[in-house]
Every structure is written in structure tokens, then in C-alpha cells.
Structure 1
Amino acid sequence: MKQKIKITLAAIFLIGGLSVSAQEKKFFFGAKAGFVFSDLSEYSYKTRMKHSFTGGLTFDYFLNRDLYISSAIEFANKGAKFDLLNKNEEEGTSLDIKNSTIAAFYIQVPVHLGYKFDLSEKTRLMVQAGPYIAYGVGGPTELGDEVILKTPGETITMNLNEYMRHLPYYNLINDWRRDKETFSDTHFREFDWGIGIGMGVEYEHVNISFRYDFGLYNISQEAGKVKNRNASVTLGYKF
């Protein structure tokens, strides 16, 4: 009889200990992947949104049941689409190279403070905000294939390879070539930082999230100020 009581008490303490451990779990590790929609503010040429991919490892530390600190190590392909337009007002000529692309590959670390609201027994709404830092690790800035050359008498449309063979390519578009490095002494700085805000929905271990990052640092090596503007949609899993 005493032996049964000892076994029962031991089982109760074991179950209680496991329950407390489960309740006190504060650190969660995960992974995510999705799409990034990026643009640049105040670039030398008119830009428009470029879409690409993002992904990384996530880390959440809970201060209590609802309040948490969220961080990650992310890879993101940022940048923008643009048309390279050069005009010679005196001669009345212009060169427009359509659908050029800036690809800027970043390793990024956000640190956000977040809060979760219960929507149902297994579903929670997440909101979070905080700073990020990022470092550019590569990427090309490439000219598009469609070239439109306007003169006082005519407008000529051709592809870039044809233009490079037959017209004074280097004189009209200065130091540009078919492509060049995005991060260099004459284009963009590698370092970036800013503020991000986000929200999402979590169902058990799976979540879908939206985030918008406002770059606050001037990444341009040239005159003027250029800053990153990026939105992302990701699907994640917490282990």
C-alpha cells in the first residue's frame, strides 16, 4: 500500500513538473520564407516596386504569456525597378533604357517588441514593431533590354545589345555598362538601418505575417539621399 502511494505521489509530481515546464517555455525557434516588395526613395531615376524573395531563421523570447521580443536572421533581395533616362536639352535628344533593375542582397537582423491577442483557442493575432540593422552582401544593378532613342526628327526603339554595337553607348549614359555592382564606392553603401512594423496571424505552430520596413539611413554614395522602403509577406513555422 505504501509503495502504491509513493508511486502515485511520484507520478503527480512528475506530471506537475512537466506541466510547469511547458507553461514556462519562453524561447521559440522557427523558420520563415516569402516575398519582399521593395522600392527606393529619392533615387536619381524614377523607380517602381520590385518583387523578390526573403527568408530566414526566427527567434521569439516571451516576457510573459502575451508580450515577447522577436528577432531573426534574414536574407532579403531588395532594390527597385527603374528607367534610366538621359536627356540632352541643347541637342533635343534623349535616351531611355526601360526595365532596369537594382538588386541589393541584404543580411538583416530585426529586434521587435510584440504582443499577441487571442482570437480563438488556437489562433492568435500578432503585432510588433522595432528597429532593424542590415548589411549588403552583393547584387548587380542591370540595364534593361529595351532602348528608346529620341532625336528631333525620329524615335528609334531597339534592344540594348544592338544599341551597344551601333551607337555611342558610353558617351550617352556616362559610367554605366551592361551591369555594375550595387554596393560600391560610386553607388550604394552596404550598411542600412531603420524601423519596422508588422502584424500576423498564428495558428498553433504556423503563422503568416506582414511587415513594412522604413529605411532611415542614406545608402547613396552620390549626391542626394536614397533610402530603402520594403514590405514583406512570409509564411513561418515555430518549433
Structure 2
Amino acid sequence: MRIKLLLVSLVTFCCMATTTFAQVKVGVEAGANLSKFVGTSSFPSEKGNLKAGYQVGVTADYEFKNHLMLMSGLSFIQRRGDLKLGMNYAGETPVMTFPKVETKINYLQIPVALGYNFRVNDNFSLIPSVGVYVAYGFGAGKCDLNLRGNNANSVGWKPLHGAKEYGLDAFRHWDWGGTVGLKAVIGQHYTLAFQYSVGIMQAQTHYGLRNSTYQLSVGYRF
């Protein structure tokens, strides 16, 4: 009896898992982004202009019976930014200013959003969403850093190195914040998605900088 009960339970679980998996729409997306830094620091720093990067990843969307959707995935995203810092650093020998600082940081990012599927017709849907993301910066290489002062020049620095370089604090590896987005599904398979994300965690504490990113992606849902 116990074996029969176990077999029935196992079959029931497999059927439920198969049904659930069938309702999950897995896809791939790729596109470009524009990013910059925002912040409320009292330092006299300009947050710079929007800089172009890119992203590529996989998506997983689950739709409930009431058309609410749970949307997630995993993506590689390159965020770029620049700063024009006119701040003198006391204690440096010589005292320096940073007229231009560039960053190019690579992240692995996981969003989790709640959306609603507005089915316009059988071949076209619009899905607005709101949620959160968490990202980990795993690489940046050398970025341009222009110095102004005695014996100053242009050098390369590593914003994720962890140590202060030339009096400039490193960026954090971890980042998290909020997202809003709009996805169009065309012909049940092709997607066009716009998303805006802004960091809640400070990416760099000295200037109170947070990431701000606009993303546009095209994709295919299986």
C-alpha cells in the first residue's frame, strides 16, 4: 500500500511539474543599453553623459490563469559611465583632480518582476512589469582615468580592484535596485522589450553613485 501511494504521489508530482514547465516561456534576448550614474552626493561632481553598452541573456516567464506574470532570467550586461570630477583630494601628494573618469563594468544580473499580459489579439501582446534586480560585477579591466596635478597624466585604473587608487574609491561588486519595463510579444515568439533600472544600493560610496540604465532588447521565445 505504501509503495502504491508513493508511486501515485510521484506520478501526480511529475504531472504537475510537466504542466508547470509547459506554462513557463523560456527565451533569449540581446540588445543595447544607455547607462550613467545618478546620486545625491554633496561633492561637486558631474555624473557624466549616457554611455552605450550591451546585454545578452535568457528569460523565463510564467503566466498565471489571471494573466499575471512572474518574469525572471539571467543576463550578462555591460554598463558604462563617465564622471567629470573637479574635486581636490586633500592628503594626496600631489593634490589631484579628476577631470574625466570612465568605467566599463561587466555584470551578471537576475531580475524578478511582476507583469500583466494584455492580449491585444492572438498574435500581439503587451506586458508591462515592475520589479527588482540583483547584479554582481565580475570584471572591468582597465578604464581611463585622467589626472590633473603635478606630474599628472592619463592612466588606467581598475574600478573593481577593491583598493583605493589615486585617491579614488573602488566600485562595489554587488548592485541591486528597481526595474520597470514593457515587453511586446509578436506572433507568440518574437519579443521587443524596453526596461529601465535604477540602483538602490550605491555602486560607489564616496560620491554616492548609483547605476541608471535604459535597455532595449529583441528576442525569441520558445
Question: 1: distance between equivalents of 2:38 and 2:20?
Answer: 46
* Deviation at residue 60 of structure 1 after TM alignment: 1.0
Question: 2: distance between equivalents of 1:24 and 1:224?
Answer: 45
* Deviation at residue 65 of structure 1 after TM alignment: 6.0
1:26 aligns with 2:27: no
* Deviation at residue 142 of structure 1 after TM alignment: 1.2
Question: 2: distance between equivalents of 1:85 and 1:226?
Answer: 16
* 8 Å contact kept, 1:79–1:228: no
- Identical columns (%): 24
Deviations 1:35-78 (A, max 9, x none): 11101113763211111111101111122262211101111111
What's 1:229 paired with? 212
Question: 2: distance between equivalents of 1:80 and 1:23?
Answer: 41
* Deviation at residue 96 of structure 1 after TM alignment: 7.1
Amino acid at match of 2:55: T
What's 1:110 paired with? 111
Question: 2: distance between equivalents of 1:113 and 1:211?
Answer: 13
Deviations 1:81-124 (A, max 9, x none): 23354669xxxxx97745x4211111100001111112222100
Gaps of 5+ in 2: 1-17, 90-95, 164-168
Question: 1: distance between equivalents of 2:131 and 2:97?
Answer: 42
What's 2:183 paired with? 200
TM-score normalized by the length of structure 2 = 0.74
* 8 Å contact kept, 2:145–2:157: no
What's 2:133 paired with? 132
What's 2:155 paired with? 178
Structure 1 residues 194 and 24 mapped into 2: Cα distance closer, same or farther (>3 Å)? Answer: closer
TM-score normalized by the length of structure 1 = 0.69
What's 2:63 paired with? 62
Structure 1 residues 182 and 96 mapped into 2: Cα distance closer, same or farther (>3 Å)? Answer: closer
What's 1:238 paired with? 221
* Deviation at residue 25 of structure 1 after TM alignment: 3.0
Structure 1 residues 23 and 180 mapped into 2: Cα distance closer, same or farther (>3 Å)? Answer: closer
Amino acid at match of 2:214: A
1:210 aligns with 2:207: no
What's 2:36 paired with? 39
Structure 1 residues 96 and 61 mapped into 2: Cα distance closer, same or farther (>3 Å)? Answer: closer
* 8 Å contact kept, 1:112–1:131: yes
Q: Where has structure 1 moved over 2 Å in runs of 4 or more? A: 21-25, 42-45, 81-88, 94-98
* 8 Å contact kept, 2:145–2:156: yes
Structure (1 or 2) with the larger CA radius of gyration: 1
What's 1:82 paired with? 83
What's 2:144 paired with? 142
* 8 Å contact kept, 2:130–2:181: yes
* Deviation at residue 182 of structure 1 after TM alignment: 1.5
1:101 aligns with 2:84: no
Amino acid at match of 2:179: G
Question: 2: distance between equivalents of 1:121 and 1:56?
Answer: 26
* Deviation at residue 141 of structure 1 after TM alignment: 2.8
1:168 aligns with 2:151: yes
* 8 Å contact kept, 2:53–2:80: no
* Deviation at residue 24 of structure 1 after TM alignment: 8.9
